[in-house]
């Protein structure tokens, strides 16, 4: 009888222990639904890109996987870059204030904004020789623009500023006018909402050649000159053709942003938008 008792007691203990193990495992899985195996599997789905770049955020892992599943045509690097920018979510959703204020590396787009009262430091008026009216840029950008326009003139080209720094209030009036004319959905493709306009940084200039409507700037010789030389003065074409899904805006051949010579040259050589450059090399 004693042997039978101890035999059943042993069986009972084993059952209790196994039950406890099952319960504990279930609790672990509830509190940490992404087990090590699941994480490994997801990283493998991304071809272990986390080991190849330094701007991979493990907290975005599920977002990376979901975005890749719906954008299988993109490279893994593009997947990571776009999710880091917030492109897996609708424009103007989960926005945040821009950092790097008064720096030439500041990013302003449809996910990052400037406060209503933000005015950049050191705004200076562009020489009337190179503008159609009083236009302002941050000093460093203004100096670079005037040098670029001057060198262009020496080579027989006219580069003229037709829009530069815009206050929040100015952009608000402009955007509202476009919305009234075309509706919000269409206006959002070509005009920034107030607070989300790069023009408020004082680092952006819209240009023409003094003879042709700015909308037709791509057809001018000045555009060709800018394509070949803008980076030498620290300027980039901010909203290039074929990158609309990244920038959130229609192609604008006349809209240039100052980022400094080094960044502008790197971007040109690597065919990057500023959004992509920012996500990979600044906002890590």
The model's confidence at residue 10, banded by pLDDT at 50, 70 and 90, is low
Q: Calculate what percentage of the chain has a pLDDT beyond 90.
A: 87
Phi-psi category of residue 242: left, alpha or beta, with phi > 0 → left and psi -120 to 50 → alpha: left
Average pLDDT, the chain: 92
| 6 has a pLDDT exceeding 90 | no
pLDDT value of residue 209: 97
Residues 180-219 pLDDT 10s: 999 999 999 999 999 999 999 999 999 999 999 999 999 9
Return the structure tokens found at 49. Answer: 């890109």
| 31 has a pLDDT exceeding 60 | no
Residues 116-151 pLDDT 10s: 999 999 999 999 999 999 999 999 999 999 999 999
The model's confidence at residue 284, banded by pLDDT at 50, 70 and 90, is confident
Return the structure tokens found at 22. Answer: 């099952």
The model's confidence at residue 30, banded by pLDDT at 50, 70 and 90, is very low
Residues 238-248 pLDDT 10s: 999 999 999 99
Question: Per DSSP, what are the bridge partners of residue 2?
Answer: none
Which 3-state string (H, E, C) describes 18-82?
HHHHHHHHHHHHHHCCCCHHHHHHHHHHCCCHHHCCCCCCHHHHHHHHHHHHHCCCCCHHHHHHH
Length of the chain, in residues: 284
Break the chain down into helix, strand, coil percent, rounded to 5: 55, 10, 35
pLDDT value of residue 13: 64
The answer to whether 134 and 125 are in contact (CB under 8 A) is: yes
How far is residue 257's CA from residue 239's CA, in Å, rounded to a whole number?
A: 9
pLDDT value of residue 173: 97
pLDDT value of residue 24: 57
| 79 has a pLDDT exceeding 60 | yes
Q: Within 10 A of 269 (CB to CB), how many other CB atoms are there?
A: 9
The answer to whether 222 and 249 are in contact (CB under 8 A) is: no
The answer to whether 92 and 103 are in contact (CB under 8 A) is: no
CA atoms within 13 A on the CB side of 115: 7
Could you tell me the pTM of the whole model? 0.85
CB contact set of 192 (below 8 Å; sequence gap of 6+): 110, 171, 175, 198, 199, 249
Catalytic residues: 252
The DSSP bridge pattern shows strands 204-208 and 160-163 to be antiparallel
List the one residue out of 126, 90, 132 whose CA is nearest residue 111: 90
The DSSP bridge pattern shows strands 112-113 and 96-97 to be parallel
CATH topology of domain 96-282: Muramoyl-pentapeptide Carboxypeptidase; domain 2 (3.30.1380)
Residue 201 DSSP one-character state:
G
Residues 170-190 pLDDT 10s: 999 999 999 999 999 999 999
Return the residue matching tokens 């330094």: 54
| 3 has a pLDDT exceeding 60 | no
Domain ranges for the chain: 1-33, 38-89, 96-282
The model's confidence at residue 23, banded by pLDDT at 50, 70 and 90, is low
List the one residue out of 192, 205, 214 whose CA is nearest residue 141: 205
| 65 has a pLDDT exceeding 90 | yes
């Amino acid at each position: 009888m004693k042997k039978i008792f101890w035999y059943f007691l042993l069986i009972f203990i084993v059952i209790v222990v196994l039950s406890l193990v099952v319960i504990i495992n279930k609790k672990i899985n509830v509190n940490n639904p992404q087990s090590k195996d699941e994480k490994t599997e997801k990283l493998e789905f991304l071809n272990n890109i986390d080991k190849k770049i330094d701007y991979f955020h493990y907290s975005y892992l599920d977002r990376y996987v979901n975005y890749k599943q719906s954008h299988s045509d993109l490279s893994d690097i593009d997947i990571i870059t776009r999710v880091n920018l917030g492109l897996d979510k609708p424009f103007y959703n989960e926005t945040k204030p821009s950092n790097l204020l008064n720096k030439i590396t500041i990013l302003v787009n449809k996910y990052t904004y400037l406060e209503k009262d933000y005015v950049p430091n050191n705004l200076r008026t562009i020489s009337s020789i190179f503008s159609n009216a009083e236009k302002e840029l941050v000093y460093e950008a203004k100096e670079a623009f005037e040098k670029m326009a001057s060198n262009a003139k020496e080579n027989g080209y006219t580069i003229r500023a037709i829009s530069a720094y815009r206050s929040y209030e100015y952009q608000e009036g402009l955007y509202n006018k476009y919305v009234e004319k075309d509706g919000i959905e269409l206006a959002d493709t070509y005009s920034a909402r107030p607070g989300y306009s790069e023009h408020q940084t004082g680092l952006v200039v819209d240009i023409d050649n003094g003879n042709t409507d700015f909308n037709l700037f791509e057809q001018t010789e000045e555009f060709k000159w800018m394509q070949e030389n803008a980076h030498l003065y620290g300027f980039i074409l901010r909203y290039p053709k074929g990158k609309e899904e990244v920038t959130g805006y229609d192609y604008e051949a006349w809209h240039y942003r100052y980022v400094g010579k080094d960044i502008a040259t790197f971007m040109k050589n690597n065919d990057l938008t500023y959004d992509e450059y920012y996500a990979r090399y600044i906002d890590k």
